[in-house]
Amino acid sequence: MKHRYIFVVGGVMSGVGKGVTTASIGKILQSRGLHVTAIKIDPYVNVDAGTMNPVEHGEVFVTDDGDETDQDMGNYERFLEADLTSTNYMTTGRVYQTVIEKERNLEYKGKCVEVVPHIPLEVIRRIKNAAQMAKADVTMVEVGGTVGEYQNILFLEAARMMHLDDPENVLFVLVSYLPVPKHLGEMKTKPTQYATRTLNSAGIHPDFIVCRGEQFMDKPRREKLSVFCNVKPEAVITAPDVPSIYDIPALFESQDLSSTILKKFKMKPRSTDLRTWKAMADVQRTAKRTVKIGVVGKYFATGDYTLSDSYISVIEALKAAAWSHKVKIQLDWINSEDFETHPKSISRLKEYDGILVPGGFGTRGIEGIIAAIKYCREKKVPYFGLCYGMQLACVEFARHVLGKTTAHTVEVDEATVDPIIHVSPIQLKNIRENRYGGTMRLGAFDCKLQPGTLTAKAYRASVISERHRHRYEFNNDYAEAIEKKGLMITGVNPGSGLVEIVELKNHPFFVGVQFHPEFKSRPLNPHPLFKAFIGAALK
């Protein structure tokens, strides 16, 4: 089978939406009946994203096979409705690691192993392998970083070599930025011209330029970029800021992008169908009612990154669930530390239809989160706890219902007399030996649901599979005690007996899950538990 590749590279600056552009181009090609997969190349030396601070790098997205990857992988999964694997993700560290391992195993048969060509060749091997594994007609490859940096040169070199080898089946998209300086009030094309030249100096010529900016680009600028950057006018695409990322595929199609791509690949024209996608993206414009959800956690923001990058999958899962109920969603971030300094401020939670506590690590803001959970349990406010949000719901229950006032997770209090959340001997060893990279409980695990429960009804299944990323676990010594008092264990991993779901009796919706359901939610196929949570919030 013939595999085609589209490399997406960034110019001018980072943070302009290469990931969403990559996912959206994938989507419009998919809507023409092509089989599409996507690869993210992260130039970092980290072997995976698991050791990167989400506040700086964004969410760590987890695949079914337990890889800790970049948040863009989540965009690909959501837009392409696909389950990707570690094959679809690489970093500089990972590529070098393989080459060094091969060298140690004498696989280069005595040759000198050099940065060029051996590193780009390993990159190419990985790209082609991903295309083959997915049986993809088209493979989108996003090269992280910006052209002109040292960091991604070897990846651009790999792309150049692939194009040299098979020019008809490799295309390049440059995602650039067109600023509108306030004192001038007009859109400037020069930075994009320079970015194109920088890309040219790496031996690559863009087939398309996607022009990000606050506004639509006008005709004179399109023509100017076409002439100065040596790209046909129809291949210069305007991509202004839009209310929702889900509007971008339609925006691209309004400029015939997918048919121009097919022409470039010398493929026959094919009909397109983006109707269901557009209908999903339209709900936020047409819906009349709004559901108000509070997300409680420790607050962090540094530089360009804030909570919204760290929890992108949670946000998208909530939106998708709300839209499936044909309502808009208002999301507020609530700093749990406020409840520690001003305990009375907890009453502000009554403004919300539902409260969610997402995953997290460490000790900061924990008592505030526990106070919020107590409020939800007592006042019967719909509560959804993800991972840490489940663990802390168990801590709250142990303290205030079982009367074990100092109960805790050993992550926060190693010496607690009531370690309701504890750590397995294997994980303890990892911690003691500082083995942190890729050693959490990661990826998809089965979970057996107890029939008749709220969760089993939401899933309409008896066994489910969900993705994990955590080190600590519910301590089964407390299982009987919590169930007696009404916190039911409604989901268990069949092999290990590990508790995966707890659910409170006689409450409209109080569910804690040890896994991360947000990773499997898709805009066109929202997650059943998020749907049930929003459903309860609407009531």
Nearer to ligand GLN, 10 or 360 (CB): 360
Of 79-87, 162-170, 337-345, 467-475, the segment contacting ligand GLN by CB under 6 A is: 467-475
Is 115 strand, coil or helix?
helix
In terms of phi and psi (left: phi > 0; alpha: psi -120 to 50; beta: otherwise), the region of 12 is left
499 binds ligand GLN (CB under 6 A): no
Number of residues near ligand GLN (by CB under 6 A): 11
Task: Name which of 413, 437, 434, 427 is nearest 496 in CA terms.
Answer: 427
Catalytic residue flag (residue 447): no
**Whole-angstrom Cα distance, residue 269 to residue 266?**
9
Residues in the chain: 539
Binding mask 45-84 for ligand GLN (x = CB under 6 A): ----------------------------------------
Give the residue from 375, 372, 304 showing the smallest Cα distance to 335. 372
Which of 229, 387, 394, 447 does the annotation list as catalytic? Answer: 387
Environment class of residue 439 by beta-carbon count within 10 Å: exposed (0-12), middle (13-18) or buried (19+)? middle
Residue 436 touches ligand GLN, criterion: CB under 6 A: no
Of 39, 387, 398, 442, the one binding ligand GLN by CB under 6 A: 387
387 is an active site residue: yes
143 CB-contact burial (10 Å; exposed 0-12 / middle 13-18 / buried 19+): buried
Under rule CB under 6 A, residue 469 binds ligand GLN? yes
**Smallest gap from residue 510 Cβ to ligand GLN (A):** 18
Contact 401, 374 (CB under 8 A): no
For residue 149, list its beta bridge partners.
none
Closest CA to 162 of 3, 292, 355: 3
Does the footprint of ligand GLN cover residue 388 (CB under 6 A)?
yes
Considering only residues 334-363, where is the footprint of ligand GLN by CB under 6 A?
Answer: 359-361
Q: Which is nearer to ligand GLN, 388 or 530 (CB)?
A: 388
Half-sphere exposure of 450 (CA within 13 A, CB side): 12
Instruction: Pick the stretch among 154-162, 214-222, 235-243, 386-394 that binds ligand GLN (CB under 6 A).
Output: 386-394
Catalytic residue among 3, 57, 516, 527: 516
Candidates 40, 422, 471, 531; binder of ligand GLN (CB under 6 A) is: 471
CA distance 336 to 108: 55
- Is 118 part of the annotated catalytic residue set? no
Of 252, 383, 397, 472, the one binding ligand GLN (CB under 6 A) is: 472
Q: Shortest Cβ distance from residue 128 to ligand GLN (Å)?
A: 33
Which residues here bind ligand GLN, judged by CB under 6 A? 359-361, 387-388, 391, 411, 469-472
Q: Which residues are catalytic?
A: 387, 516, 518
